[in-house]
Amino acid sequence: MTDPGPVRPLPAPSFRGTPPFPEAARRALADDQLRTNLRRATMTIRTKRQRAVDERADWEALRVAGAAIKDDVLARLPELLVELESNVTAAGGVVHWARDAAEANRIVADLVRAAGASEVVKVKSMVTQEIELNDALARAGIAAWETDLAELIVQLGDDLPSHILVPAIHRNRSEIRDIFRRAMGGAGRPAPAGLSDEPRALAEAARLHLREKFLRARVAISGANFAVAETGTVMVVESEGNGRMCLTLPEVLITVMGIEKVVPAWRDLEVFLQLLPRSSTAERMNPYTSMWTGVTPGDGPRAFHLVLLDNGRTDTLSDRTGRQALRCIKCSACLNVCPVYERTGGRAYGSPYPGPIGAILTPQLRGIARHPVDAQTASLPYASSLCGACFDVCPVRIDIPEVLIHLRGQVVRQHGWRARIGSDEALLMAGLGATFRSPRRLAAAERGAGLAGRLIARGGRIGRWPAPGMLGRWLRFRDLRAPARRSFRAWWRSTGSGEGQGQ
């Protein structure tokens, strides 16, 4: 290999600064191309997942088992992590503990520097997105190269990921061709001349571009899907084989892992290796499953570092209802069935964890159980119509709607009834709360509403009308049926228990 000269890190965009969900969603909805790409992609994967799941008569039993194993892990996390640490250490690995993103990033940057490297190759990993590792490394002068095809597209496009499994789901193939043509040269080997948007040609361009990096890199960074406490074995599942290149070729391997990823025993993987591929890629088995236990002389990396990351996980664990979010195995089935995600895409959620799981995980990792959160974070539990499709597909039975409602309660409690969540909403809730406490007040309010309706309605409908607040947000897009002239309770009373059936 020829020396590439000094490598320059690519910029690493951040989700910081994303507006609250309603506004971010409004912008995303205006992008017709995005909506077309998302609809096609989510519909396809949704149908395939259903087929893969329907093959298993014991699917429900698997879900129950998956949830039970994860709940057991969460109940005795400290002892399992210590067991994992001692087994990784015994196998020649080094374990580091990181309280938060800053600590994890510092540990990783120091390890890369100590290896004398100025670049790393990366296996697709959610947790390193969560801690914005690429940005931290770039600030330390270290270039981090994404090697997952979709992550590469996002990185070269100076873009943010929009899906857990398919981070470039918002891009179609002609957009990908344009990104490769424009940006590959600045990051290494340029795209072949005359690159077409044929999937095969795009994959070949990525292969050539990445091969150079695999062969050159001395340090690799990965996440982990699972880590087995009883043996100290770490596991990554993937589809492309690029992950395995990273896991086997470089001299130093650094794995960053959320503490909830530990499982007690090998036999537990039997459950998750059935649940995960069918739920995420709709495959019976994923193409590449890499496992390693410490280091093996003469085979693979010479040094292995495991960084165990908290970053809000123990806070999440302290919430009895919310902690089930930590069962998540990052399959993304909930994204693919979510009617909100399908229309807004992932970037509107302002976090690498989008969709229904993101709406419950992000606020908790940001500490909603402990302290008031910012307006963007507080908007996430409301980014759902509570339709329940996510719970039905979740392979570890996370009751996402239940947690969403629970977190909404925390938002309201933290911000107070009159504060930031929209004063007309708090006012309406207080007013209706008082009204519903008395049937007399309710009857009077109904008479008032009936009268008001008669004044502004035409043909029983209130049409376009520049009303303020929540009513305005309804009427901007929809007519509103006018309140009845005579409520049901008024009819019941006036007809004497409805006996006359007077209409």
Least distance to other proteins from the beta carbon of 324, Å? Answer: 15
Q: Is 266 in the site for other proteins (CB under 8 A)?
A: no
How many residues bind other proteins, per CB under 8 A? Answer: 70
Q: Is 493 in the site for other proteins (CB under 8 A)?
A: yes
Could you give the angle at the alpha carbon of 87 between the alpha carbons of 86 and 89, nearest 5°? 65
CA distances from 446 to 427, 450, 478, 501 (A): 18, 6, 22, 21
Instruction: Indicate the residue among 238 and 446 with the shorter CB distance to other proteins.
Output: 446
| From 148, 238, 240, 446, residue interacting with other proteins (rule: CB under 8 A) | 446
DSSP code for 227: E
The H-or-E segment that residue 343 falls in is: helix 339-344
Instruction: Indicate the residue among 93 and 483 with the shorter CB distance to other proteins.
Output: 483
Q: 256 has which bridge partners? A: 307
| From 92, 435, 457, 465, residue interacting with other proteins (rule: CB under 8 A) | 435
Q: Which of 375, 382, 368, 342 is nearest to 17 (CA)?
A: 375
Least distance to other proteins from the beta carbon of 460, Å? Answer: 10
Instruction: Indicate the residue among 101 and 404 with the shorter CB distance to other proteins.
Output: 404
Least distance to other proteins from the beta carbon of 445, Å? Answer: 8
Q: Which of 222, 221, 210, 215 is nearest to 156 (CA)?
A: 210
Contacting residues for 274 by C-beta, under 8 A, at least 6 apart: 56, 62
Q: Is 380 in the site for other proteins (CB under 8 A)?
A: no
Q: Is 387 in the site for other proteins (CB under 8 A)?
A: yes
Phi and psi torsions of 335, nearest 5°:
-65, -45
Q: Is 173 in the site for other proteins (CB under 8 A)?
A: no
Max distance between CA atoms of the chain, in angstroms, equals: 95
Query: Residue 151 and residue 166: Cα distance in Å, rounded?
Result: 8
Our separate counts of H helices and E strands in the chain read 23, 12
Contact positions with other proteins (CB under 8 A) in 414-433:
417, 422, 425, 429-430, 432-433
Give the CA count within 13 Å in the CB-facing half-sphere of 437: 6
| From 77, 273, 405, 467, residue interacting with other proteins (rule: CB under 8 A) | 405
Instruction: Indicate the residue among 97 and 382 with the shorter CB distance to other proteins.
Output: 382
Contact positions with other proteins (CB under 8 A) in 320-339:
339
Q: Is 437 in the site for other proteins (CB under 8 A)?
A: yes
Contact positions with other proteins (CB under 8 A) in 453-472:
461, 463, 470-471
Give the CA count within 13 Å in the CB-facing half-sphere of 144: 30
Query: Residue 371 and residue 363: Cα distance in Å, rounded?
Result: 11
| From 344, 351, 362, 376, residue interacting with other proteins (rule: CB under 8 A) | 344
Q: Is 498 in the site for other proteins (CB under 8 A)?
A: yes
Q: Is 477 in the site for other proteins (CB under 8 A)?
A: yes
- Alpha-helical segments (H) within 76-148: 77-90, 101-114, 126-130, 133-139
Q: Is 2 in the site for other proteins (CB under 8 A)?
A: no
Q: Is 391 in the site for other proteins (CB under 8 A)?
A: yes
Q: Is 97 in the site for other proteins (CB under 8 A)?
A: no
The piece of 117-125, 142-150, 352-360, 388-396 that touches other proteins (CB under 8 A) is 388-396
Contact positions with other proteins (CB under 8 A) in 30-49:
35
| From 8, 26, 40, 454, residue interacting with other proteins (rule: CB under 8 A) | 26
| From 189, 273, 388, 467, residue interacting with other proteins (rule: CB under 8 A) | 388
Q: Which of 264, 279, 222, 271 is nearest to 52 (CA)?
A: 279
Contacting residues for 303 by C-beta, under 8 A, at least 6 apart: 94, 115, 251, 252, 253, 295
227 Cα distance to chain centroid: 21
Instruction: Indicate the residue among 77 and 429 with the shorter CB distance to other proteins.
Output: 429
Q: Is 503 in the site for other proteins (CB under 8 A)?
A: yes
Query: Residue 291 and residue 307: Cα distance in Å, rounded?
Result: 16
- Binding residues (CB under 8 A) for other proteins: these are 21-22, 25-26, 29, 35, 339-340, 343-344, 381-389, 391-392, 405, 407-413, 417, 422, 425, 429-430, 432-433, 435-439, 442, 446, 449-450, 461, 463, 470-471, 473-474, 476-481, 483-484, 486-489, 491-493, 497-498, 501, 503
